[in-house]
Amino acid sequence: MKKKAVLITASGKDNFTPEQISRLELAGDITYHTALDPIPAGRLVDLLQEAEVAGLTPRSVPSIDASWITQLPRLRGIAVFATGIDYIDLELLEEKDITLSNLPQYSTISVAEHTIGLLLTLSRRIHLSQDRVRGRVPAGTSVKGWELRGKTLGLIGLGRIGSYVAGLAQAFGMNVIGCDPREDRGQGLAKVSKEELLASSDIVSLHYPSSWGIGHSFGAHELYRMKQGAYLINVSRSALVDNAAVVTSIDEGHLKGYAVDDFFSLAGDTLAQRQIAEGRILQTGHTAWYSEEVIARGYDSFVDHVAELLRGASLGTVVTGKDARLL
């Protein structure tokens, strides 16, 4: 008897090509569900009751935790359509002997290119120029920009995305430095301490993951060690950065601007609203990964991972417990 898998995606079976469906159904007994919004824990338990493998997206299942995992004794594997795993209780999966598969490589190029897009937007004031042309800000609003060539970009995190960003930035004539706790990363780049990077970079860009249950790791301490008038870019996770400290630092004239690939959590704050209107805070609503190529690559890898989990095999991208924290 074939093992059962339940896949929950935005468009259900329609998300997959006929060839992908064939691969899936050759590997196991597949049930498809459509979900455009987060699924309550109770409903999720009902949907996955018979599943040995679950294929999930963060859009439909924004938290993989004890509220539903503990009620599914048959579940042996979870494939997520995502790179980040900070919304997953890894210790619980390890305790329950559930294998987790993520997609660490599928969006590298798009996220790296988005990083450069944010950098260019900040430097050339593209977002503010658009607002001025459309009458959203006073006609006299300054849109004077600055050139990337000769500026120092400091990358915190030199994994796949950080390293790709480095190459793109160097093509603009930027001086690129980086720091990473792993010695094997950032080959060919000038590697410095975090303190030195913060003090000498015109732009600091974050490329490291957040972890389950841990708050921000980049706050007032780091912001005030940055170079006066520097910019901060965050295409990783909004939770990495203390947004209140960002607003304060911009208001005091220390941080020049902040770009985050998410919704700024304090957007309703009066001071933050003013900074957004002034173009000092730029938010792109978690779209860095979203491209035609990423979708195509992602679903193809997602199908492979679900099929391999059904067969009980291990993939290079399958991670559990402590190993997952090293990504």
pLDDT at residue number 313? 63
From the list 14, 108, 78, 88, the residue with the least C-alpha distance to 308 is 78
Gap between the Cα atoms of 76 and 52, Å rounded: 5
Gap between the Cα atoms of 71 and 171, Å rounded: 52
14, with CB counted inside 10 A (0-12, 13-18, 19+), is exposed
Sign of CA dihedral 301, 306, 312, 316: positive
CATH 3.40.50.720, the chain: domain bounds? 4-106+291-321, 108-283
pLDDT at residue number 93? 95
Gap between the Cα atoms of 191 and 87, Å rounded: 30
pLDDT at residue number 211? 78
Helices 108-124 and 292-311, axial angle in degrees (round to 10): 150
pLDDT at residue number 128? 94
Q: Which fold has domain 4-106+291-321?
A: Rossmann fold (3.40.50)
Gap between the Cα atoms of 236 and 239, Å rounded: 9
Per-residue pLDDT tens digits of the chain, which is 327 residues long: 899 999 999 999 999 999 999 999 999 999 999 999 999 999 999 999 999 999 999 999 999 999 999 999 999 999 999 999 999 999 999 999 999 999 999 999 999 999 999 999 999 999 999 999 999 998 889 999 999 999 999 999 999 999 999 999 999 999 999 999 998 898 899 999 999 999 999 999 999 988 776 778 999 999 999 999 999 999 998 999 999 999 999 999 999 999 999 999 887 899 999 999 999 999 999 999 999 999 999 999 999 999 999 998 654 444 443 343 322
Cα distances from 251 to residues 108, 140, 180, 258, 269, in angstroms, run 33, 21, 30, 12, 13
Number of other CB atoms surrounding residue 157 within 10 Å: 23
Write the CATH number of the domain with boundaries 108-283: 3.40.50.720
Token pair listed for 214: 């841990």
User: What does the pLDDT look like over 190-233, one tens digit per residue?
Assistant: 999 999 999 999 999 999 988 776 778 999 999 999 999 999 99
